[in-house]
Structure 1
Amino acid sequence: MEKHILVIEDDKEISEIFQLIFELKDYHTTILNIAPDPEYICEQKFDLIIMDIRLLGSRYNGNELCRIFKLKYPDNKTPILLMSAESNGNILARECGADEFMHKPFDVDDLLTRASALMG
């Protein structure tokens, strides 16, 4: 069964890179450039969520959306990988309950390894 990854990234060029990386590995990828409502994430049944911490123009930052999602839907075990170039990104990821954190810029092979591990 094809794995489905949601990528929430406000930079359209980086979003396109994510889509290319994952689709070359036969993952179905949904790209959003603004943070959706937590209900959308829960209803769609993704296998992995990757989101930037800073989402310009969005209602939520990635860490806020992660925290709300984890609190509102504790039975939903969809793993969340937060990404950021910010120096305190790992702290923000830990505080909001993210399953994993990666610094930007990222290594493609490392991203694929972590994504695969998170999806099981």
Structure 2
Amino acid sequence: MRKIFLVEDDPGIRDTLEILLTTEGFLVQSFGAVAEFNNRDKSILPDLFLFDVMLPDGSGIELCREIKNDKKSENLPVIIMSAHADLEDVFYECIPNDFIPKPFDIDDLILRISKILS
């Protein structure tokens, strides 16, 4: 079973994504803030990271940069989601495997995740 680490501060979006992705056969571990994510068991690596950009205590772009600069996780895919940033801003700061603007189409999100993981 493929594992996704989701960092999203909006509980409605986070819960919806967790239910949806679990229904699609993914194992999802979700976090509502950077601090929660940083307190995770770092010995466990997911198959994919899904980060919101604007978080209450940091940025998904910063998390992406950390993931891509860590030898243990540098090759793991990262998808960035944002209602405020645009693709150019994100790629200037970090090079994610994909960028999804909010609001997003659920089917498109699942398709993009499946494509990256195949």
TM-score (norm 2): 0.88
Letter in 1 for 2:6: V
How many percent identity over aligned positions?
A: 26
Give 1:111's aligned residue: 109
Residues 48 and 78, structure 2, Cα contact 8 Å, conserved in 1: yes
**Aligned-pair CA distance for 1:72:** 2.8
**Aligned-pair CA distance for 1:77:** 1.3
Structure 1 gap segments, 5+ residues each: none
Give 1:92's aligned residue: 89
Distance 1:74 1:3, change over 3 A: closer
List, as ranges, runs of 4+ consecutive aligned residues in structure 1 with deviation greater than 6 Å.
Answer: none
**Aligned-pair CA distance for 1:41:** 7.6
Residues 79 and 99, structure 1, Cα contact 8 Å, conserved in 2: yes
Aligned-pair RMSD on alpha carbons? 1.8
Mapped pair 1:73 → 2:71? yes
Question: What is the total number of aligned residue pairs between the two structures?
Answer: 115
Mapped pair 1:30 → 2:29? yes
SS in structure 2 opposite 1:43? coil
